[in-house]
Each structure stands twice: as C-alpha cells, then as structure tokens.
Amino acid sequence: MADKNLNEIQFNPVSAWETMDETKTKDVLNFGEGYIDFLNQVHTERQSADFIITKAKESGYDDFNDVITGKIKFVPGNKYYYCIHGKSVILAATGSEDPANGVNIVGSHIDAPRLDFKPNPFYEDNGFGYAKTHYYGGIKKYQWTAIPLMLKGVVFTNDGKKIDISIGDKPEDPMFTITDLLPHLAADQMKKGASEFIPAENLNILLGSMPLNDEEGNGSIKAYIINYLYEKYGIVQRDMATAEIEVVPAFKACSIGFDKSFTGGYGQDDRVCAYASLMGILDINEPLKKTAICYFSDKEEVGSMGNTGARSVAFNNFIAELCYAYDNKDSEIRTRRALASSNMLSADVSAGFDPNFAEAFDKTNCAYISRGVAMEKYTGSRGKSGASDANPEFIAKVVNIFNKAGVPWQISEMGRMDLGGGGTIAQFMADLGINIIDCGVPVLSMHAPFEVTSKADLYWTYKAYYEFMINM
Ligand code: MN
Ligand code: MN
C-alpha cells in the first residue's frame, strides 16, 4: 500500500484528557457535577426509576401504559416511558419507521450491590438492637463493616399504603453501621481468608441500645425500634414482611483528586451507564427514523432473574406492544422481527485497570481509565463460558459511528483469564436475537461501597450512547 501513514494504521488509545481543549475539559467536568448530584439523589433501583421517569416527563415523555389502555393514541415520533413494577424503566423516543424493522437500544441496570433487610429483621442481643441483612450481589463482605450506612426503601402496609423509608442523608438523620473486631483481638480473624473473616450472618446493622420505657413496661430495645418505626412511619412489625429495605453506604458522592478528574461514590456500577444513557436519550430532539430505546433493568447483580430483570419477558412485552401500537396488528412475528433486527449496547461498566492490582489484568487487553468508552467483546469465564461474544460485523458498525463522531473508544476483556469473570444483561438480550456488545465506563473498586470512575469516560460514554441511538 502506498502512502502509508503509521498514525492511521496503528491503534493506540490515549488518555482522553490529552485530546481535549480547555473548553471541552470544562464541559466534561461540569457534566460530572450533574452526575454527582444524581448519585446523591438515588440510592436504590426504585429511586433511580422515579428519577428517570421524572426527567422523562419533564422532557415530554408520555406513559406508554396510556397507549396500551387506549387512553391516548400512539403517535410515531412521540416519546414514551414504560415502568416495570417500579424498579425497571424503558424510555422510547419513537421514530417514523416501523419498529418491526428494528430499534436502537442502550440497556443498563439500576440495581447495585447492597445489604437487604431480612423479612424478620429485628432482634436484640446483649444490650444491642440489630437488623439482620442478606447481602445482594457480589460483595467483599469485610468492606461493609465500620462504615456509615443508610436505610432506603419501601413498606407496603396491610391496607395497601406505600410508605417510603429514607433515613441517613438528611442532616438531622441518624446513620447506621456494622461493627468489626478490634485488631488487638483479631489474631484468629486475620488468619482466615478474606471471604470468611466477616461471615454473612454477622452483617447485622446496629440500630440502637435504648430500651423502650413505656407505661405497659415493654422495656426492650427491640420494642424501642418497632415503636420508633410506628411513631415515625405508622408501620407495625408485621409490615416488615411486606417491605424492601436496602442498606446502602452513607458516603456522599464527590470529586476525587486535585484535578477533580474522578467521581467517587456508591452504586456507580451501573448507575454511571444509566445516567449516561438517560442524558443521551434526553438530548434527542431531532426526528428519528429508527426508534431509540433506553432500557434500565433491575436485578442484574443477581443474574437478571425475576420479573424486573432482563431475563423476564418484560422487555419483549414492551417491544410487542410497540409493534402493535404502530399498526394495530396483533402479530407475534412482527415482535420477533423487531428483536432480530435490533441493535443494542449493553451499557454496563467494565473493570478498569488498576496499577495496584496489575497482576489481575492482561495489560494488553484491559479497559484503561480515561481512555474513553470501553467495549468488551465478551464477558463470561473459563473460556468465554456464559458470554455473548459480539459479532464483528456489528462491532464494525458501532466503531464506525464512534469514529465519525470523534468519540474515544477502547476494546478489552474483563481481566486476566481464569481469575474469575462476570456477566451482564448482554447474553439474555442476545438470546432474543438482538445484536449486542457490552459498552460502558471502566470502574475502579467495582462493587465496593465507594467506587471510582473517570469523568472523561462518563462524558464520552454519554456521547457514545447518543450517537449510537441516533445513527445506528
Ligand atoms: Mn454492572
Ligand atoms: Mn456489577
């Protein structure tokens, strides 16, 4: 080949900070501030769903259930939200073209690792009042002791009333914690492997120590806790059976580093991609040919099971309803065609290379912080098992869109082979026939109570999702 230009034939992603001028850098840091605000407002999948629906409504989205029930007429070009049991959301900026020809989807998840109250949480022991928890998702249990914690969730009372519980982030609120053993007496504990030195049944939340001293003489600490919840929220102990209380870190999300180039905070896997895709779809103002969809799923951290997870038929149902709304023909084949012709980014985080743990990565095939949106061709473990391995003809189209828009991107694996592995919603969406690749923000300290991302990666991921939705 003549006129060879080495810069054109080599592919060496560099730090996105190096490629941005002062104005762009300011934009990126500003965008990061909005994200920090978001992280400080939402701590659960329900709160995330509410946030997404509020923003969508402000941008003119209608409830798609009103289309389904015939309350409003479906108009191609209009925008709709669809809520799945309060914990998962689909946003659709519809296009002029028949959705049976395929749609462009960005799919993230809004659940995050945490501790859930057990159905019978309260007990007391030697002068302490506690709540028992069951951990949710893949956590290093020792990271959840000796840090401030908040309670977030809902209780449905016997008469069907929904009560929001939120304790720990208002200045007057108390916080909670799980105690750990002092190092002076930890000789036995420290000999154990890290997965054993905090047993799961020790993840008990400290709730108080004062007994209730009421006239009836119910002088127990447990009674104090139950009485407190009754006085404050009108809920009785039995109502805990119909509650979802999540224990989450009480740290505020914030900028990290002298240059404020990072965001630190809880729940960034995967609310960083959820936020990027939400901002991306809300930016769409131009008329579209193909419908753009953002899917915010639940239960990803526990394998996407359940009727709010990506393995349920909820997403297919939405596509079926969308196809039906478009032409009022009840035809399963149109739904199948829609799915088989659709393209999707599985908007989930990847493991960012961490020099402190370099041995956990293949340095030539890992996602680097600040080098832009990170694609993972496959996840899984032990020889790509349990993975959707993205098709190159599809990746070529995605990369072409990113290149045209000047979006910095990188492609990687998750970590060194045979060390572990993981999965995303990609495999379940691929089962429906959708072309898909994992594509999101690299994260440090993933699944820890305080995770770290780069503001440059957040910004470029947001741009990547927007470009994908309007150009694919
Ligand atoms: Mn994730
Ligand atoms: Mn995860």
Give the ligand whose atoms come closest to the C-alpha of residue 273: 1
In angstroms, the Cα distances linking 135 to 51, 154, 159, 240 are 25, 17, 29, 17
CB 85 within 8 A of CB 306: no
- Band of the pLDDT at 305, cuts 50, 70, 90? very high
- Calculate how far, in angstroms, residue 70's C-alpha sits from the geometric centre of ligand 1: 36
The neighbouring-strand residues paired with 373 are 409
* C-alpha of residue 112 to centroid of ligand 2, in Å: 7
Confidence of residue 381 (pLDDT cuts 50, 70, 90): confident
Residue reference for tokens 């997965």: 195
The H-or-E segment that residue 166 falls in is strand 162-167
Distances (CA, A) of 22 to 19, 67, 257, 261: 10, 46, 18, 14
**Rounded to 10 degrees, what is the CA torsion of 31, 35, 37, 42?**
160
Structure tokens at 272: 């960083």
Q: What is the mean pLDDT of residues 361-366?
A: 94
Q: How far is the CA of 395 from the centre of ligand 1 (A)?
A: 20
**What residues pack around ion ligand 2 (CB closer than 5 A)?**
269
User: What per-residue confidence (pLDDT) applies to 1?
Assistant: 57
Q: Of 49, 36, 40, whose CA–CA distance to 110 is shortest?
A: 49
Q: Which residues on neighbouring strands pair with residue 55, listed in sequence order?
A: none
What spacing in Å lies between the alpha carbon of 379 and ligand 2's midpoint? Answer: 12
Interval 31-60 mean pLDDT: 98
Determine the distance separating the centroid of ligand 2 and the alpha carbon of 385, expressed in angstroms: 18
**Ligand 2 mean position, distance from CA 300 (Å):** 7
Q: What is the CA radius of gyration of the chain?
A: 24
pLDDT in tens, 67-112: 999 999 999 999 999 999 999 999 999 999 999 999 999 999 999 9
Q: Which two tokens stand for residue 266?
A: 């809880």
180 CA distance to ligand 2 middle (Å): 25
Is the model more confident about 9 or about 101?
101
Mean pLDDT over 125-147 rounds to 97
Phi, psi torsion values for 373, nearest 5 degrees: -60, 135
Closest ligand to residue 349's CA: 1
